[in-house]
């Protein structure tokens, strides 16, 4: 049976609606200046003041009011709520107030997800990493509940955060719900027919997966990709540090990459039986090189992740050199003289270069392309 899952952003209206408490007990100070102990005291005072009030009272704040009206509109009596909060003292405190109120007044389960660096007091971190962390975390929740009834409520938080979550709803084709100010009518926005330029990502997966893993890369390492495909620039952001130019994935690029990895799960080749799994080393080289390969933990981790992919039946290592160093990983569709369509790989790091072939349970190009996307993802973890 499908569960009802609500992903809701959380701002601080449950706190700012109690300006009297701030003025009377905390000298009207900014919420961000409160200590942990003061924040706990503030939360308890708010909870006490709200006791006995009707849940539709504006004092509860937009996050609580909108949740009530949403579930009323959709006739939902059982649900789990993921509450997205910033990693700030006021963000955490507001989240705790909302969680307590919803669990005790509405009887729904609430799980708080605090997003690292989603804190506007540190503008650089917020712009470069916070929004990326936000999109990644929401994508994880969506992936976890892909077979459930997911809803998104981008009500609270900063404008950039609300915009990003609303965009996630569109890209992942999830209905979004809004409660306009001073209204009791929840508005349901269905996804529009937005399509992702899948080819852009597939053609550049080697560099996009590196950006996903390493967060930023020097502009000098990416410029050749942009020269080859100028559209790649649309999903990148400039980062300047120590007089050097870098690129990172933009929050939009991060979100679409996560969406792509979620989508391919339904088109992967079928799972292999344990008895079908095979690993071989067939490269031409001396025994010293073979021993080096077996002693390099990073290469062994890479091989293990590939062979453990459910759809992989065989991995053959046909080349290893400790001299060809670099920082690159490539998976490409190819053909084997005797076994048909396969995936070739190349993996460089500071210890050398590894090349080989991957055989899957099915040879359909669409399924193998999905496997390539998945292999980039799982070898990054």
What secondary structure does DSSP assign to 238-274, as a single string?
EEEETTEEEEEE-HHHHHHHHHHHHHGGGSSPPPPPG
- Of 15, 31, 119, 113, nearest to 64 by C-alpha is 15
Cα distances (Å, whole numbers) of residue 8 to 38, 144, 334, 337, 379? 26, 16, 44, 53, 31
- The residue with tokens 């980062």 is 239
Helix (H), strand (E) counts: the chain: 15, 14
Instruction: Give all strands of the β-sheet with 236-241 in edge-to-edge order.
Output: 216-218, 244-249, 236-241
How does strand 328-336 pair with strand 244-249? unpaired
Strand, helix or coil at 380?
coil
Both tokens assigned to 291: 């021993």
| Confidence (pLDDT) at 129 | 78
Both tokens assigned to 170: 């569109």
Q: How far apart are CA 360 and CA 340, in angstroms?
A: 10
Where are any strands of DSSP class E within the chain?
Answer: 4-9, 80-86, 109-115, 149-153, 176-179, 186-189, 216-218, 236-241, 244-249, 278-281, 312-321, 328-336, 340-349, 352-360
Q: For the domain bounded by 4-189, which CATH number is listed? A: 3.40.50.10770
pTM above 0.85, yes or no: no
How does strand 328-336 pair with strand 340-349? antiparallel
Q: How far apart are CA 126 and CA 20, in angstroms?
A: 30
| 208 within 8 A of 253, measured Cβ to Cβ | yes
| 108 within 8 A of 102, measured Cβ to Cβ | yes
| 305 within 8 A of 379, measured Cβ to Cβ | yes
| Confidence (pLDDT) at 182 | 67
Q: Print pLDDT tens along the chain (381 aa).
A: 789 999 999 989 999 999 899 888 888 888 888 899 999 999 999 999 999 899 999 999 989 999 999 999 899 999 999 999 998 899 999 999 999 999 999 999 999 999 988 876 666 677 667 888 888 899 889 989 988 999 999 887 777 778 888 888 888 889 999 887 667 788 888 887 767 777 888 889 999 999 988 888 999 999 999 999 999 998 898 887 778 889 988 888 888 888 888 889 889 999 999 898 999 888 766 667 777 777 788 889 999 999 999 999 999 998 888 888 888 899 999 998 788 999 999 999 888 889 999 999 999 999 999 999 999 999 987
- Of 142, 73, 67, nearest to 107 by C-alpha is 67
- The residue with tokens 């959380």 is 10
Q: How far apart are CA 253 and CA 237, in angstroms?
A: 9
Both tokens assigned to 81: 């709520």
Strand, helix or coil at 132?
helix
| 211 within 8 A of 249, measured Cβ to Cβ | yes
Cα distances (Å, whole numbers) of residue 205 to 117, 142, 232, 332, 370? 26, 22, 11, 10, 12
| Confidence (pLDDT) at 314 | 95
Tell me which DSSP letter residue 156 carries: S
Q: How far apart are CA 204 and CA 47, in angstroms?
A: 51
Torsion of CA 154, 160, 166, 167, to 10 degrees: -160
| Confidence (pLDDT) at 128 | 67
| Confidence (pLDDT) at 103 | 95
Instruction: Return all residues near 41 (Cβ < 8 A) that are at least 6 apart.
Output: 25
């Amino acid at each position: 049976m499908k569960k009802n899952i609500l992903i809701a952003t959380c701002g601080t209206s449950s706190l700012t609606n109690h300006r009297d408490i701030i003025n009377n007990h905390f000298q009207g100070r900014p919420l961000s200046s409160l200590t942990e102990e003061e924040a706990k005291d503030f939360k308890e005072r708010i909870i006490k003041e709200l006791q006995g009030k009707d849940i539709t009272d504006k004092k509860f704040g937009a996050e609580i009011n909108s949740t009530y009206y949403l579930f009323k509109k959709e006739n939902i009596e059982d649900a789990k709520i993921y509450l997205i909060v910033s990693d700030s003292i006021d963000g955490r405190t507001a989240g705790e107030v909302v969680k307590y109120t919803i669990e005790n007044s509405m009887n729904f389960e609430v799980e708080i997800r605090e997003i690292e660096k989603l804190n506007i007091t540190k503008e650089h971190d917020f712009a470069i990493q916070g929004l990326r962390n936000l999109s990644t975390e929401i994508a994880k929740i969506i992936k976890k509940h892909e077979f459930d009834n997911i809803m998104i409520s981008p009500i609270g938080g900063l404008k950039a955060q609300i915009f990003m979550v609303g965009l996630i709803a569109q890209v992942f084709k999830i209905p979004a719900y809004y409660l306009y100010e001073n209204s009791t009518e929840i508005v349901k926005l269905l996804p529009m027919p937005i399509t992702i330029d899948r080819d852009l990502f597939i053609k550049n997966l080697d560099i996009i997966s590196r950006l996903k893993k390493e967060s930023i890369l020097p502009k000098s390492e990416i410029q050749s990709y942009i020269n080859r495909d100028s559209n790649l620039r649309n999903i990148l952001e400039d980062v300047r540090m120590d007089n050097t130019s870098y690129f990172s994935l933009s929050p939009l690029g991060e979100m679409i990459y996560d969406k792509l990895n979620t989508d391919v799960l339904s088109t992967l080749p079928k799972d292999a039986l344990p008895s079908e799994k095979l690993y071989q080393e067939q490269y031409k080289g001396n025994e010293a090189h073979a021993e080096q390969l077996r002693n390099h933990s990073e290469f062994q981790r890479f091989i293990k992740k590939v062979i453990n992919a459910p759809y992989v039946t065989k991995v053959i290592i046909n080349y290893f050199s400790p001299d060809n160093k670099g920082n690159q990983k490539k998976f490409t569709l190819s053909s084997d003289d005797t076994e048909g369509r396969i995936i070739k790989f190349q993996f460089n790091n500071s210890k050398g270069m590894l090349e080989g072939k991957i055989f899957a349970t099915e040879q359909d190009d669409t399924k193998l392309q999905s496997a390539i996307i998945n292999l980039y993802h799982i070898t990054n973890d």
